[in-house]
Amino acid sequence: MEPYIVKQTIMNKDQKAVGYEIMYADDQVEMWQADDTTAANAIETFLSSIDSDNFIGGKTAYITFTRNLLVKNIPKMFDTDKLVIQIEDQLITNPMSHSLITKFKQNGYKIAVIDFEFAPRYFGVLDIVDYIKVNFKNHNDPTLENVIRIGKSFGKGMIAYNIDCAEAYEKAKLYGCISFQGSYVSEKMPAALQQKSKVMQGNFMMLMVAVNRDEPDIDEIEEIVSRDVNLTYALLKLVNSAYFALRNRAKSVKQALVILGLGQLKQWIYLLSFKTDDGTMPDELIKLSFLRGSFCAELVEFADDMPISRSEAYLMGMFSTLGKLMQMPIGEVLAQLPISDDIKLALTDHAGRSGMLYDTVIAYENAEWTKMKELAEGLGIPKDMISEKYCECVQSVNNTWAKLMEATDFGDGED
């Protein structure tokens, strides 16, 4: 049995990430549908192998638990302020399971119930429920508004999931949900950036291509950075900040590039390019760019007959969010970039083996396990390493993000 795991962002009304749902499955079935000891053992082993706090970026994890996972005290692997225990409604009304859930509630954990039904048999357990998750897959369902209204009347936090389009998002907000989860939410731009829709400044795209070549040319990178006074100033300010603690200040672009290193340079440029004048930026969308880039780069190493290199696969994943970030059709954005047609066609038409790799990453991201496995098999990617590589990428991106936030200091950093 090979478990798969992915995290999906849960946003509040201010479009800030408040937590991540950790979704998992094995080769045969969704884990929460397999209420047996084998499933419990698999998930216990898997969760034990990752740094859970790093994996969720210090935020709250929302995890669906079977009865066996509760019996094995798996929630204890998380601090009480870092976990919301999700359960399906049929579990909470089971007398034996109800006592287990009550125990965790008394120990300080918060409880969320999925697809709760407001029928008399459920009212007796409302006292241990903190959140109710409401499925907006069919956002035109006339009963949704009543369910949310009743839930709010009992003082429960209402979370809308399967928010996959703008209409569903607007209805969930109108009905009074406090948090939102789904593909539309994870790629939604903050309002401040929507109002500031413009093409990125300077030589960003040329620079991103240059730093991601198989053999980057430091002279080419220096030339591109030096064309843009804002990039030059920001680079020198960053490298001469307290974070690097240099004995002697870096006085040239080339010197600063050597100190920073190409690994941090590519992420720092990306962050800088989408920072607004007031310091805000689409954190989760940029982190998603990093994650997709890293995941594509890892998986391409295991795929057969790929027309793109590891560095090109990284660009493909990272640039997959450019349409959202720049508020332009992805085809128009990519037309400006000196990248291969394989990457362009993969991102615009999902064409070729590069398109299959991109679709594999998106299917995994959306927890579409069957589709993901079919695509991976078509590429020749061993299924027993996909989840491992995903988790490695998540933790690497989170580590890099924390360092960049500290070093860049998007406030009044030290000169």
Q: Tell me the CA distances in angstroms from 186 to 137, 169, 218, 250, one per residue in order.
A: 15, 12, 35, 38
Q: Are residues 93 and 8 in the same domain?
A: yes
> Sign (positive/negative) of CA torsion 243, 246, 248, 253?
negative
Half-sphere exposure of 189 (CA within 13 A, CB side): 19
Q: What angle do CA 48, 51, 52 make, to 5 degrees?
A: 85
CATH number of domain containing 203: 1.10.3210
Q: Are residues 202 and 78 in the same domain?
A: no
Say whether both 200 and 156 belong to one domain: no
In a shared domain, residues 130 and 200:
no
| Its pTM surpasses 0.85 | no
Q: Are residues 355 and 385 in the same domain?
A: yes
**Cα 172 to Cα 163: distance, rounded to the nearest angstrom:** 8
Scored b (16 or more CB within 10 A) or e, 390-410 reads bbebbeebbebbeebeebbbe
Cα Rg of the chain (Å, integer): 23
Please say whether the beta carbons of 61 and 23 come within 8 A: no
Looking up tokens 């053992």, which residue turns up? Answer: 41
Can you give the pLDDT at residue 364?
Answer: 94
Domain boundary among 159, 187, 215: 187
Task: State how far the alpha carbon of 90 is from the alpha carbons of 112, 361, 394, in Å.
Answer: 13, 33, 33
At a CB cut-off of 8 Å and minimum separation 6, what does 355 contact? 345, 346, 349
CA angle 271, 297, 269 (to 5 degrees): 15
Same domain (yes/no): 125, 196: no
Domain boundary at 187, 219, 234, which? 187
Same domain, 298 and 318: yes
pLDDT, one tens digit for every residue, the chain (415 residues): 567 888 899 999 888 889 999 887 766 555 445 445 555 665 666 666 667 677 887 889 998 888 888 888 888 888 899 999 998 877 777 777 888 899 999 999 999 999 887 777 777 778 899 999 999 999 999 899 999 999 999 999 999 999 999 999 999 999 999 999 998 887 766 554 444 434 344 456 677 778 777 788 888 888 888 776 667 777 777 777 666 666 677 778 888 888 777 767 777 776 766 665 555 667 788 889 889 999 999 999 999 999 999 988 988 998 898 888 777 788 887 887 778 899 999 999 999 999 999 999 999 999 898 999 999 999 999 988 898 899 899 988 888 777 666 655 543 334 3
3-state helix vs strand vs coil in the chain, percent to 5: 55, 10, 35
Q: Are residues 152 and 124 in the same domain?
A: yes
Beta bridge pairs of residue 87: 113
What's the burial of 260, exposed, middle or buried (CB within 10 Å: 0-12/13-18/19+)?
middle
CB 8 within 8 A of CB 367: yes
Measure CA 312 to chain center.
Answer: 21
Q: Are residues 197 and 230 in the same domain?
A: yes
Helix, strand or coil for residue 18? strand
**Domain span including residue 139:** 4-187
Same domain as 230, residue 318: yes
Report helix, strand or coil for 17: strand
List the CATH number of the domain containing 71: 3.20.20.450
Do the Cβ atoms of 267 and 400 come closer than 8 Å? yes
For residues 230 and 338, membership in a common domain is answered with yes
DSSP per-residue string spanning 41-63: HHHHHHHHTS-HHHHTTTSEEEE
Residues 193 and 182 in one domain: no
Domain boundary among 143, 164, 187: 187
| Cα separation, 307 vs 315, whole angstroms | 14
Tell me how many domains the chain contains. 2
